[in-house]
Amino acid sequence: MKKELPVSKLNSKEKDLVKKAINAKKKAYAPYSKYQVGSVVLDDTGKIYTGCNVENASYPAGLCAERTAIVKMVSEGGKKIKTIVVAASSEEPVFPCGMCLQVIQEFGADSEVIALNKSGKHFLKALTRTLFPFAFDPEKLNQ
Ligand code: THU
């Protein structure tokens, strides 16, 4: 696995996204797993959307932070994800789960993911296509 880097290595725009993701984590509704996650989507027009995980007593009805932020983007007219940040509650940075990668792929095949650890002080960065190289994408439906 790649080595984590300190957040000080990010540029100022990325640092702002990191701050917003850490703030979004505070809104997490995670009474069952007690694992709070925050996320931020930057779209291709520069607009920012935040999200947190929203769990449910009927466990599978819960939603990950990334998909919360993406659904907000799409419902507010955003079209394309440029960068998505995930602020997790693990000692090591956490990349989006498989279901979230599928949804990221739909709206951001060329996007970049920044994954933060619990303290929000260290990150890993990867392209979505690196994390999900054989994604099922909309074009495949027409083949
Ligand atoms: N979760 C996220 O919100 N994003 C991730 O990338 C990993 C997992 C949430 C789902 C659930 O509410 C909790 O974390 C534990 O799995």
Q: Report pLDDT digits (tens) over 58-72.
A: 999 999 999 999 999
Q: What is the mean pLDDT of residues 106-110?
A: 97
Q: What is the pLDDT of residue 66?
A: 98
Any residues with Cβ below 6 Å from ligand 1, and which? 30, 33, 35, 37, 53, 55, 62, 64-66, 86, 94, 96-97, 100
Positions marked catalytic: 66
Q: What is the mean pLDDT of residues 79-88?
A: 98
Q: What is the pLDDT of residue 6?
A: 96
The helix (run of H) or strand (run of E) holding residue 5 is strand 5-6
Task: Write out pLDDT tens, residues 22-33.
Answer: 999 999 999 999
Strand arrangement, sheet containing 122-127: 5-6, 122-127, 112-116, 81-87, 38-43, 48-52
**How large a percentage of the chain has pLDDT more than 70?**
99
**Cα(29) to centroid of ligand 1, in Å?**
11
The secondary structure of the chain in percent helix, strand, coil, rounded to multiples of 5, reads 35, 25, 40
The helix (run of H) or strand (run of E) holding residue 6 is strand 5-6
Q: What is the pLDDT of residue 123?
A: 97
Full set of structural domains in the chain with CATH: 5-118 (3.40.140.10)
Confidence of residue 138 (pLDDT cuts 50, 70, 90): confident
**Cα(86) to centroid of ligand 1, in Å?**
10
pLDDT tops 90 at residue 46: yes
Q: What is the pLDDT of residue 143?
A: 72
Confidence of residue 142 (pLDDT cuts 50, 70, 90): confident
